[in-house]
Structure 1
Amino acid sequence: MNVPLRDISGHPADDHDDTTPVLTPAEAERWPDVAQPPRGRSTAIRSAAAARLFRHALRGVDVRVEFPDGKVVGHHGDRVLPRMIIRHPEDFARRIGTGGLIGFGESYMAGDWTTDDLVGVLTPFATRVARLVPRPLQALRRVVLPKHPSSEDNSTSNTRRNIARHYDLSNDLFAVFLDETMTYSSALFADLGPGTRAPWSDLAEAQRRKVDRLLDAAGVGPGTRLLEIGTGWGELCLRAAARGATVRSVTLSSEQQTLARERVAQAGFADRVQIDLCDYRQVEGTYDAVVSVEMIEAVGEKYWPVYFQTIDRVLAPGGRVAIQAITMPHDRMVASRSTYTWVHKYIFPGGQLTSLKALDAVTRRQTSLRMTERQAMGAHYAETLRLWRERFTARRDDVAALGFDNTFRRMWEFYLAYSEAGFRAGYLDVHQLVFTREDLTDGDRR
């Protein structure tokens, strides 16, 4: 059933889109799992269970959910709650019953549900993510939900393909929503108090501030031999070279390498900066400092030891390491480490978020590096993502002009909002971390 939605006053419900998205034949071919909800004998059983679990989960979530039959869940007197509008409840239940979080995201891409406040809807769910499914049923996660495909393991043979699926989409696409620095990681705003909304005009300077703080933490200055793991589009290379450092940066994205090299040459630093298409595991040489910005998320837990062992191997005596990493609570990392999610399938294949506890443990067990400084800046990432999301949404016509279809646009908006919600809920955080070898005893090295 798909009848016009009405709010409590009886007026038609307005939402982000005027009509439910309909995939074109070309989109249906490109996005088969979005175009067609799961079918099959077991799907009906799973969808019925999922529908009950979803309604159970709504009891503790501050979201107003509207169903096509007029039923409203989550209406609390005069309180104004973000609205989640279910247009196709059967398809919605089929997707989440079969795919869990993957199905939840695909159902948004398909238009099974919509909203006029995507972050507002997702944040309460992120706040209660550990309690949405009753604890006795959480043990079934590994049995009923999809598994990580072996093709997305971050081995040397797979990693470049995983990276290309995201970062090689198009430099022009990223330029649509990033600021002039082309920096795709959390900014660090100068004055960000509770409830503060940073203006777009502050973003570029906030990105430079983030980079400069990392370079300061790593002790980068004139004559420093710097290794950067994960080039991005070259902003850190530029700022390090401007300090007088000699930089080697490695990336697995050919698109990023091309643009970063162009920017370096235009700035007149080609003699100080070398940007290679190279896996971090293959890096040789000795460096006074190593910096890596939000790259460890693409490494995978299985390869964290070799990642840090590589850094340990190439770091000169007395050298410093500065890493910016997205983190999550350790218990949630452990609980979700084997879960294949919507983000894995559509955005970051092979990705894995870490925790401070895990980073400290792997460096202590596998290297001579020790975490000596850390700064949390999750609120800054929430604002960074908001600015990206608003700019991406405002420039949807530019995205279409680049050849990206409507389903891709909905996918990307969901990704940016999903990420922002995680930081606003405190489920995710981001840290700038410093690792050194200072004052290690034999006991520390064990």
Structure 2
Amino acid sequence: MTMQHDAPAPGRPRDDRTNTHTLPRPSEGVWPGLATPPVAPVKARIAESLFRNAVRSLPVRVVFPGGERIGAGGPDSPVMRIERPAAFFARLGAHSKIGFGESYMVGDWTSTDLPGLLTPFAATLSTLVPPALQRVARRRVEARRPREEVNSLEGSRENIHRHYDLSNDLFALFLDDTMSYSAGWFADGSDDLLLAQERKIDGILDMAGVRDGMHVLEIGTGWGGLATRAARRGARVTTLTISKEQQQLAEARLAEAGVADRVQVLLRDYREARGAYDAVVSVEMVEAVGAEYWPTYFAALDRLLKPGGRVGLQAITMPHDRMVVSQDDYTWIHKYVFPGGLIPSVTSIERNLAADTTLHVAERRSLGPDYARTLGRWRERFLDRWDDVAALGFDETFRRMWEFYLGYCEAGFRVGYLDVFQMGLARR
């Protein structure tokens, strides 16, 4: 397992944008400070007490070295095996929203059924720690979001770069042939991920009313799957990305699909977009915008849409009360996977539309259970093809990080803590 500290990788500059915040660089096997647990004996004891109290009522089995077992789970319930209790509780006590995932990354604890284990934790996420202690932790203990991860024009490009530019080849190994990195929509009785992704794309294009002869704007290109399908409907597509690596592969894939003459891939932020379009589509991009820029983002959808046009918006969501209390938190997901991200609520989307646009939600459908299935398929494919991922230069720490990310998200969608909606937006 490779766990470097603050030394830069050969040929790459050290990335210290502040004196206190040194970034993990998973594509280079650089994990600042991860190898050494924090020294926080009082916090560790508090964390252990809270953890033991919370787990006693959960349908899981937690096994300690020496054979001690806690939890309300039966013989078939998921098992959490704590290999290094002192390190685990030290990390959990120092930064609970980061330390739990970091402990998995370094092997302080393991599980043979990670999504199954995380599901009951996700179901009781808001009550595992007493609300009064949550408020104290937010004020005095928990890490706050780094200022440099705000989604300004420059900040957004860096945040996107840190995730989507890990490696095009990495994403190709676990995604389907459309390279869709968003929820699929499975037909009844079908477990085919490719068909689910094509159905999802058709669903959002239908909500936007995309048809032959239209000029469509897509905000968030991905790797060109939606633009390809829109072009095959006879539409002309302008699609925006701020990832150079995604732009290059999307253009190659569009050419291979024979639709490059109908699609223009621009390296451009949504705030820099100009023109007027018959339809606008944006799939799971709003989560990377940030609350302070939601008014700008939704106003852009309105500004870029021709009279009579519709917007197809796909958005991951969370309950509004949880979003409000957690929107300033800095979590494991922010540190290692999606810097600058914030999942909106349906209420926050509707309020921003009402305040800053002439648009409203005319129709919507939930794909939450489908996202759980999608994430499960991604995790299985990633683990099955780990040898190929490792050949790209990713280390064992990355494997556990990515497995935890996919399993953590799958658990959230399983229990409804997270949802995802396709929304058709029309003018009021």
Q: TM-score range by the shorter chain?
A: over 0.9
Q: In the alignment, which of 287, 299, 314 is matched to residue 324 of structure 1?
A: 314
Cα separation, partners in 2 of 1:315 and 1:102, compared to 1, 3 Å: same
CA distance in 1, matches of 2:285, 2:418: 16
Instruction: Kindly state the Cα deviation for residue 60 of structure 1 after the two structures are TM-superposed.
Output: 2.7
Q: How does 1:31-430 map to 2 (within 5 A)?
A: 31-39=31-39, 43-76=40-73, 78-143=74-139, 144-191=141-188, 199=191, 202-430=192-420
Instruction: Kindly state the Cα deviation for residue 26 of structure 1 after the two structures are TM-superposed.
Output: 4.7
Q: State the secondary structure of the residue aligned to 1:147.
A: coil
Q: What are the superposed Cα offsets for residues 29-61 of structure 1, whole Å, 9 maximum, x if unpaired?
A: 61133211112xxx1111111111111111332
Partner of 2:24: none
Instruction: Kindly state the Cα deviation for residue 267 of structure 1 after the two structures are TM-superposed.
Output: 2.2
Letter in 2 for 1:137: L
Taking only aligned residues, the RMSD between alpha carbons, in angstroms, comes to: 1.3
CA distance in 2, matches of 1:33, 1:422: 28
CA distance in 2, matches of 1:142, 1:302: 20
Contact residue 5 and residue 34 of structure 2 kept, 8 A = no
> Gapped runs of 5+ residues in structure 1?
1-22, 193-197, 441-446
CA distance in 2, matches of 1:317, 1:363: 16
How many residues align? The count is 405
CA distance in 1, matches of 2:411, 2:112: 15
Contact residue 55 and residue 72 of structure 2 kept, 8 A = no
Letter in 1 for 2:97: L
Q: State the secondary structure of the residue aligned to 2:186.
A: coil
Letter in 2 for 1:119: P
CA distance in 2, matches of 1:60, 1:433: 38
Instruction: Kindly state the Cα deviation for residue 69 of structure 1 after the two structures are TM-superposed.
Output: 3.2
Cα separation, partners in 2 of 1:320 and 1:25, compared to 1, 3 Å: closer
Cα separation, partners in 2 of 1:27 and 1:83, compared to 1, 3 Å: farther
CA distance in 1, matches of 2:151, 2:203: 29
CA distance in 1, matches of 2:225, 2:95: 38
Contact residue 329 and residue 428 of structure 1 kept, 8 A = yes
Partner of 1:11: none
Instruction: Kindly state the Cα deviation for residue 265 of structure 1 after the two structures are TM-superposed.
Output: 1.5
Letter in 2 for 1:415: Y
Contact residue 142 and residue 338 of structure 1 kept, 8 A = no
Contact residue 220 and residue 283 of structure 2 kept, 8 A = yes
Contact residue 280 and residue 311 of structure 2 kept, 8 A = yes
Give TM-score, length-normalised by structure 2. Answer: 0.92
CA distance in 2, matches of 1:349, 1:318: 36
CA distance in 2, matches of 1:357, 1:244: 35
Q: What are the superposed Cα offsets for residues 163-190 of structure 1, whole Å, 9 maximum, x if unpaired?
A: 0100001110001101111111000111
Letter in 2 for 1:58: V
CA distance in 2, matches of 1:356, 1:25: 40
CA distance in 1, matches of 2:287, 2:58: 29
Cα separation, partners in 2 of 1:139 and 1:26, compared to 1, 3 Å: closer
Letter in 2 for 1:105: G
Q: Which has the larger radius of gyration?
A: 1
Instruction: Kindly state the Cα deviation for residue 417 of structure 1 after the two structures are TM-superposed.
Output: 0.4
Letter in 2 for 1:345: K
Q: State the secondary structure of the residue aligned to 1:60.
A: coil
Contact residue 28 and residue 35 of structure 1 kept, 8 A = no
Contact residue 96 and residue 103 of structure 1 kept, 8 A = yes
Contact residue 27 and residue 407 of structure 1 kept, 8 A = no
Instruction: Kindly state the Cα deviation for residue 27 of structure 1 after the two structures are TM-superposed.
Output: 7.8
CA distance in 1, matches of 2:82, 2:75: 20
Letter in 2 for 1:168: D
CA distance in 1, matches of 2:411, 2:265: 34
Letter in 1 for 2:205: L
Contact residue 328 and residue 429 of structure 1 kept, 8 A = yes
Higher mean Cα deviation, 25-34 or 51-60?
Answer: 25-34
Q: State the secondary structure of the residue aligned to 2:274.
A: coil
Contact residue 232 and residue 256 of structure 1 kept, 8 A = yes
Instruction: Kindly state the Cα deviation for residue 268 of structure 1 after the two structures are TM-superposed.
Output: 2.3
CA distance in 2, matches of 1:25, 1:341: 20
CA distance in 1, matches of 2:33, 2:96: 13
Letter in 2 for 1:88: R
Contact residue 5 and residue 33 of structure 2 kept, 8 A = no
Q: State the secondary structure of the residue aligned to 2:299.
A: helix
Alignment identity in percent? 56
Letter in 2 for 1:383: R
Letter in 2 for 1:164: H
CA distance in 1, matches of 2:3, 2:160: 28
Give TM-score, length-normalised by structure 1. Answer: 0.89
Letter in 1 for 2:81: I
Instruction: Kindly state the Cα deviation for residue 263 of structure 1 after the two structures are TM-superposed.
Output: 1.2
Q: State the secondary structure of the residue aligned to 1:132.
A: coil
CA distance in 2, matches of 1:208, 1:247: 17
CA distance in 2, matches of 1:68, 1:417: 24
